[in-house]
Amino acid sequence: MSMGTMETVRHVLSGAVPQFLSSDLFSSNSDLVLYSRCHIKSVERRGPRYLPSLKCSSMSGCRIGSYRCKRLGGGLYRDTAIDRLKLLSCKCQQAESVGGVDTGEGNSEWFVDSANKFNLNGSINSQNNLEFEHVAQLKRENEVSMSNDKAGTGTSTFAAASVDSVEEEAWDLLRASMVYYCGSPVGTIAANDPTCSNVLNYDQVFIRDFIPSGIAFLLKGEYEIVRNFILHTLQLQSWEKTMDCHSPGQGLMPASFKVRTVPLDGDDSATEEVLDPDFGEAATGRVAPVDSGLWWIILLRAYGKCSGDLSVQERVDVQNGIKMILRLCLADGFDMFPTLLVTDGSCMIDRRMGIHGHPLEIQSLFYSALLCAREMLTLENGSADLLRALNNRLVALSFHIREYYWIDMRKLNEIYRYKTEEYSYDAVNKFNIYPDQISPWLVEWMPNKGGYLIGNLQPAHMDFRFFSLGNLWAVVSGLATTAQSHAILDLIEAKWADLVAEMPFKICYPAVEGQEWQIITGRDPKNTPWSYHNSGSWPTLLWQVTVACMKMNRPEIAAKAVSVAEKRLSRDKWPEYYDTKKARFIGKQSRLFQTWSIAGYLVAKLLLVDPSAAKILTTEEDSEIVNAFSCMITSNPRRKRGPKSSKKTYIV
Ligand code: GLC
């Protein structure tokens, strides 16, 4: 047995390494699947005899020990929580389930914390819509009574008080949205709309939706839910995922998951809790969520930076998870571009909106995740090649986006005068863009001061729409240069009436209409012009706006956006999105009490108080990239041609 293997075995035996992820021990996919299936379960019994104690047991095959959870009361939702506890009467597998084997002290403590927190908050899986509504109602009543009490004390005091109460309501709603697995908080439900009969998958924990929730909890010093989320979703990464007999890559993270209570096999008096992920095999359009893994890496880094607990990112299973995501993203394909090639709807915009190819949102998240991963990857044998590939991709990606995606007045005028059909290695118009495709709206819209990164670039095609998340995250991650980042914020200020108007923030601008809408969306009634993904306004984007503004030291823009949102969000019951050019209406099919609208607002508020906290999300360009970048600009493309040098190959 090699030293490395001995070390791994020692870790496994001592519980430090989740056994199923140790590739030395389990090499086939079916082992991975079986094992992860087996341990992502908790057992609970139905029937009164199990009510008095919440004794937890383990599943056979995964059982390493047993665990007792305490049942406590208290907190805002105490009664509801206790009622539900009676219903669930959960017999949990030890909480360490996250690691797959008993990981000893550390994780047990973690579970005790979870159980305590669970009971302190007193909330439990948020299935009860009325509870949400009730919290909001109480807050509104308070606000009214406060306004009565405060009559005559001046409007500013009243405004401050009502802002405080909006924030308080948001916190209560966010806590009520927490989803529990085996008594531990593992995420937040996407929406809890009491007025909506068609729940679809809004009762699930979405990976991308949880990011603002997670950041809000981190900034509040509540680290445990984030840690649980990271570790549980990591297990789902290895889940068996197929669509019509085809499986996507191993590193794919789910779009969402649900905690289900199901009858226990062979025992109809018992139930068990299972985590049930959706990788897109059930989602509308069957699209794989490329952004999930990228967000997971970004949150993992933020967790470490904020809590100071680096032990999570250093775990062997977590390091493996990072590498699996990276391998999937860095794998060779047919691409000539360093940008990630994806299908339509593989990110926040998860329906057909004409963003297949190399959409900006994915590229910004990709760049951000590469930088975050580089910071966290531990140097060991086997990671050197991956790190080299990662570094090369960072340089190529930033060059490509900064050079070819950027437009402002000067660049637009250049494109307007492009020659076409240039067959040469040093063509100016490399992608053969026909100037006629510069849309009339853009000629009018482009401000003299400011610029932005276009939505997508393909041969003979530039998607000139302004996509907010991609641009904002390009600022946050440093994919855009400092000058470009300021120019993006300048453009946001100059185009406030279009991008913010009565609710921050338009998801993209402008809408596709008429025949273009028919062709691009496939006549999607949810994505009609100026609605939903087709230029609807999404309050959740407030947090990304704020992080970008804090990074560039321009907090006044974020403050202005927050004050616009604050006037309506609570009154309108925290909608998912708004419709119309000026965002005047609550979206046609918008959910109410959408968690990431609530969390996005809270993150923005927290950052306004402490702008330096934005550092847990921002990344800076390092000198290595800057140097490589300037070399690329000055080098002659002709000189680069020729057979690939053997020194430059790496195994990914
Ligand atoms: C919609 C959004 C998606 C979000 C999900 C849950 O599908 O397009 O971005 O994650 O709802 O809120």
Residue 148: per-residue pLDDT: 44
DSSP state of 252: P
When comparing pLDDT for 646 and 66, which is higher?
A: 646
pLDDT in tens, 280-298: 777 666 788 999 999 999 9
Whether the per-residue pLDDT at 623 is higher than 80: the answer is no
Residue 633: per-residue pLDDT: 60
Place 135 in a pLDDT band, splitting at 50, 70 and 90: low
Q: How many CB atoms lie within 10 A of CB 649?
A: 9
Q: What is the mean pLDDT of residues 532-560?
A: 98
Residue 635: per-residue pLDDT: 60
> Which string of b and e fits 553-585 if b means at least 16 CB within 10 Å?
ebbebbeebbebbbebbbebbbbbbbbbbebeb
Place 632 in a pLDDT band, splitting at 50, 70 and 90: low
Measured from the CA of 347, which atom of ligand 1 is nearest? Answer: 9
When comparing pLDDT for 535 and 38, which is higher?
A: 535
Residue of minimum CA distance from atom 2 in ligand 1: 348
Burial of 373 (0-12, 13-18, 19+ CB in 10 A): buried
Residue 196: per-residue pLDDT: 78
Residue of minimum CA distance from atom 6 in ligand 1: 190
Report which of 478, 503, 540, 547 is spatially closest to residue 219, judged by C-alpha positions. 547
Whether the per-residue pLDDT at 50 is higher than 60: the answer is no
Whether the per-residue pLDDT at 551 is higher than 70: the answer is yes
CB 601 within 8 A of CB 569: yes
3-state helix vs strand vs coil in the chain, percent to 5: 50, 10, 40
pLDDT in tens, 177-236: 999 999 999 999 999 988 877 777 888 999 999 999 999 999 999 999 999 999 999 999
Whether the per-residue pLDDT at 537 is higher than 60: the answer is yes
Pairing of strands 461-467, 451-458: antiparallel
What whole-number percentage of the chain has pLDDT above 70?
70
When comparing pLDDT for 539 and 200, which is higher?
A: 539
Tell me the whole-structure pTM to 2 decimals.
0.79
Q: How many CB atoms lie within 10 A of CB 266?
A: 6
Measured from the CA of 202, which atom of ligand 1 is nearest? Answer: 6
Most confident option among 43-47, 80-84, 409-413, 422-426: 409-413
CB 448 within 8 A of CB 409: yes
Whether the per-residue pLDDT at 176 is higher than 90: the answer is yes
CB 274 within 8 A of CB 260: yes
Least reliable range by pLDDT among 38-42, 165-169, 505-509: 38-42
Token pair of 646 as six digits: 């053997």
Residue to substitute in 206, 290, 344, 524 for testing ligand 1 pocket (most ligand atoms within 8 angstroms of CB): 206
Measured from the CA of 201, which atom of ligand 1 is nearest? Answer: 6
Residue to substitute in 189, 198, 208 for testing ligand 1 pocket (most ligand atoms within 8 angstroms of CB): 208
Amino acid at the residue 101: V
Cis peptide before 366 (omega within 30 of 0): no
Distance 350 CA to ligand 1 centre (A): 7
Measured from the CA of 349, which atom of ligand 1 is nearest? Answer: 8
Place 138 in a pLDDT band, splitting at 50, 70 and 90: low
92 phi-psi bin (left φ>0, alpha ψ -120 to 50, beta other)? beta
How many angstroms separate the CA atoms of 19 and 501, rounded?
Answer: 53
How many angstroms separate the CA atoms of 306 and 607, rounded?
Answer: 13
How many angstroms separate the CA atoms of 551 and 554, rounded?
Answer: 8
Residue of minimum CA distance from atom 9 in ligand 1: 348
How many angstroms separate the CA atoms of 465 and 590, rounded?
Answer: 23
DSSP state of 246: B
Residue 136: per-residue pLDDT: 58
CB 191 within 8 A of CB 595: yes
Residue 83: per-residue pLDDT: 30
Token pair of 220 as six digits: 């509040």
Token pair of 625 as six digits: 């990239």
Residue 63: per-residue pLDDT: 20
CB 299 within 8 A of CB 325: no
Measured from the CA of 191, which atom of ligand 1 is nearest? Answer: 12
Whether the per-residue pLDDT at 143 is higher than 60: the answer is no
What whole-number percentage of the chain has pLDDT above 90?
59
Least reliable range by pLDDT among 143-157, 345-359, 623-637: 143-157
Report which of 57, 98, 61, 342 is spatially closest to residue 236, judged by C-alpha positions. 98
The partner residues of 571 in beta bridges, in order of sequence, read: none
How many angstroms separate the CA atoms of 180 and 75, rounded?
Answer: 16
- What is the chain's mean pLDDT, rounded? 78
Residues with CB under 6 A from ligand 1: 190, 206, 208-209, 348, 350
Burial of 3 (0-12, 13-18, 19+ CB in 10 A): exposed
How many angstroms separate the CA atoms of 394 and 619, rounded?
Answer: 13
How many angstroms separate the CA atoms of 142 and 108, rounded?
Answer: 40
Token pair of 577 as six digits: 């999105």
- Residue linked to tokens 């062979």: 266
3-state secondary structure of 110: helix
What does 143-207 look like in DSSP terms, one character per residue?
A: HHHHHHHTTTS-HHHHHHHHHHHHHHHHHHHHHHTEEEETTEEEEE-SB--TT-S--TTTTSEEH
Distance 301 CA to ligand 1 centre (A): 23
pLDDT in tens, 576-596: 999 999 999 999 999 999 999
How many angstroms separate the CA atoms of 194 and 575, rounded?
Answer: 12
Residue 409: per-residue pLDDT: 97
3-state secondary structure of 408: strand
Residue to substitute in 179, 209, 537, 541 for testing ligand 1 pocket (most ligand atoms within 8 angstroms of CB): 209
Q: What φ, ψ does residue 298 adopt, rounded to 5°?
A: -65, -40
Contacts of 83 (CB under 8 A, 6+ apart): none
Q: What is the mean pLDDT of residues 604-614?
A: 98
pLDDT in tens, 318-358: 999 999 999 999 998 888 899 999 999 999 999 999 999 99
Measured from the CA of 284, which atom of ligand 1 is nearest? Answer: 7
Place 566 in a pLDDT band, splitting at 50, 70 and 90: very high
